[in-house]
Chain A
Amino acid sequence: DIQMTQSPSSLSASVGDRVTITCRASQGISTWLAWYQQKPEEAPKSLIHSASTLQSGVPSRFSGSGSGTDFTLTISSLQPEDFATYYCQQYNSYPLTFGGGTKVEIK
């Protein structure tokens, strides 16, 4: 199985801050990586696929980068509605696996 490791597991930030979340795969996955946002008591929402392609309707302050084993999700200017938990997911091979999540909290 491919293990997905996210860091940090949580962070505190202020509105307007630039936030970067890292996801590392235990083996190369090319760009077969997705990012999801989950708010409390809600289902995950798709943000990014193919490591860097924004899903339709996702604000441009979100961006993704990376390939192989190292990936990042960046929020260029954190907004109040961005406080949530973020998950990466690899879909290079079965079993599909998710990272442990990064909780973005208000400072």
Chain B
Amino acid sequence: QITLKESGPTLVKPTQTLTLTCAFSGFSLSTPGVGVAWIRQSPGKALEWLALIYWNDDQRYSPSLKSRLTVTMDTPKNQVVLTMTNVDPVDTATYYCAHRYVYDGNCFDQWGQGALVTVSS
């Protein structure tokens, strides 16, 4: 059974760096085809894809946020970390990590519960 859970600060000040951790179980990032994505949802808004890291450490980013995002993996710990620099109130959102559905490309079959992050001074 695949599970994912996001953790990190609930409140961040503008210009600071946000670091979120996705702890998962039920799969390994050393398995070919596996990937973990970060997706966010601003209050009352639609879903927005941010980044995706693959088992081979290939990373893909949303072009609009690429300069501010870094995604890394810690395979032995079964964790993926998202770092977002220079946050702004518009980055207030629920941040989800999700498991890439290995049998069919970059869609997501399991999601974490989400972590609400508020950016405010």
The answer to the question of A67 belonging to the interface, with a C-beta cut-off of 8 Å to chain B, is: no
Size range of the chain A interface in the assembly:
20 to 34
Tell me the smallest distance from the CB of B44 to a CB of chain A, in Å.
Answer: 10
Stretch from B8-16, B70-78, B108-116 forming part of the interface with A: B108-116
Within 8 A of A (CB), among B80-121: 96, 101, 104-114
Contact partners of B96 in chain A: CB under 8 A: 43-44
Contact of A46 among B47, B48, B52, B108 (CB under 8 A): B108
Q: Number of B residues whose C-beta is below 8 Å from A? A: 23
Residues of A close to B48: CB separation below 8 A: 98
Closest to B104 in A: A49
- Is there an interface contact between A46 and B109, defined as CB atoms closer than 8 Å? yes
Q: Closest B residue to A50 by CB, please name it.
A: B104
Query: For B46, B62, B105, which residue has the most chain A Cβ atoms within 10 angstroms?
Result: B46
The 3 A-B pairs at the shortest CB distance, nearest first, are namely A34-B107, A91-B106, A96-B49
Chain A interface residues toward B at CB < 8 A: 1, 32, 34, 36, 43-46, 49-50, 53, 55, 87, 89, 91, 94-101
Q: Residues on B close to A: CB < 8 A?
A: 37, 46-49, 52, 60, 62-64, 96, 101, 104-114
